[in-house]
Chain A
Amino acid sequence: MAMKRIGVFICHCGRNIAGTVDVKKVAEEIGKREDVALATTYIFMCSEPGQKLIEESVKKYNLDGVVVANCSPTLHEKTMRNAAARGGLNPYRVEIANIREWAAWPHEDNPEAATRKAIRIINATIEKLKANASLEPIEVPVVRRALVIGGGVAGIQAALDLADAGIETILVEREPSIGGNMFRLSETFPTLDCPQCILTPKMNDVAQHPNIKLYTYSEVESVEGFMGNFKVKIRKKATYVDWDKCTGCGECLRVCPINVDSEFDLRMAKRKAIYIANEQAVPLKALIDENTCIRLQFEKKVKEGKIKPKKNVKICSKCADVCEPNAIHFQNNEEIVEEEVGSIIVATGFEVMPAEAFPELGGKYPDVLNSLQFERLLAPSGPTAGIPRRPSDGKVPESIAFVHCVGSRDPQSGVPYCSRICCMYTIKQAMLVKHALPSTAVYDFYIDIRSNGKGYEEFYHRAKEEYGVNFIRGKVSKIYKVGDKYRVQGVDTLTGRIVEVDVDMVILATAAKGSEGVKDLAKKLRIPYDEWGWLKETHLKLKPLETPVGGVFIAGAAQFVKDITDSVSQGSGAAAKAMALLSKPQLEKEPLLAKVDPEICAGCGRCKDQCAYGAISIDPVRHVAVVNEALCEGCGACSANCPTTAIQVVNFKKGQIIRAVDVLAEVF
Chain B
Amino acid sequence: MGACKVHIPIKSISIQNLKVGEMMKYTIKKDPHKDERVQEIIDISGQNIFSCYQCGRCSSGCPMAEFMDILPNQVFMFLQEGDVDTLLQAKTPWICAACFTCTVRCPVGLDLAAVMEAIRELQLRKNYDYVDPYNVEERDILPPIALVSNFRKFTP
Contact = CB atoms under 8 A, between A and B. Distances in A.
Interface string B29-64: 011111000000000000010110110000000000
Contacts of B24: 496-498
A547 to B, nearest CB: 40
A312 interface: no
B119 to A, nearest CB: 15
A399 B32 CA distance: 12
Interface in B1-51: 23-28, 30-34, 48, 50-51
B33 A461 contact: no
A399 B23 CA distance: 25
Nearest to B77: A494
Contacts of A449: 53
A500 B27 contact: yes
A244 interface: no
B74 interface: yes
Contacts of B30: 441
Contact of A443 (B25, B28, B34): B28
Nearest to B21: A498
A645 interface: no
Interface string A467-496: 010111100000000000000000010111
Given A492-B77, A495-B74, A500 B54 contact: no
Majority secondary structure of chain A interface residues (helix, strand, loop or mixed)? strand
B53 A494 contact: no
A495 B48 contact: no
Contact of B25 (A468, A472, A473, A497): A497
Contact of B27 (A443, A471, A501): A501
Given A470-B81, A499-B26, A500-B25, A465 B74 contact: no
Contacts of B23: 497
Contact of B50 (A443, A468, A496, A501): A468
A494 B77 CA distance: 7
A442 to B, nearest CB: 8
B101 interface: no
B73 interface: yes
Interface residues of A, number: 22
Contact of A468 (B26, B33, B70): B33
A485 to B, nearest CB: 12
Contact of A399 (B31, B73, B83): B31
Contacts of B83: 495
Nearest to B56: A494
A492 B70 CA distance: 14
A559 to B, nearest CB: 31
Contact of A497 (B26, B32, B50, B53): B26
A627 to B, nearest CB: 62
A492 B83 CA distance: 12
Nearest to B34: A441
B121 to A, nearest CB: 22
A465 B110 CA distance: 12
B74 A494 contact: yes
Contacts of A471: 53, 80
Interface of B: 23-28, 30-34, 48, 50-51, 53-54, 70, 73-74, 77-78, 80-81, 83, 108
Enumerate the 10 nearest inter-chain pairs by beta-carbon distance, A residue then B residue, closest first: A441-B31, A501-B28, A468-B33, A465-B51, A494-B77, A500-B27, A498-B25, A495-B77, A497-B26, A495-B74
Interface of A: 399, 441, 443, 449, 460-461, 464-465, 468, 470-473, 492, 494-501
26 contacts: A441-B30, A460-B53, A461-B53, A461-B108, A464-B50, A464-B51, A465-B51, A470-B28, A470-B33, A470-B81, A472-B80, A473-B77, A492-B81, A494-B73, A495-B70, A495-B74, A495-B77, A495-B78, A496-B24, A497-B24, A499-B25, A499-B81, A500-B25, A500-B26, A501-B27, A501-B28
Given A461-B53, A495-B81, 14 more contacts: A464-B50, A465-B48, A465-B50, A468-B31, A468-B50, A470-B32, A472-B81, A473-B54, A473-B77, A492-B77, A494-B74, A499-B27, A500-B27, A501-B27
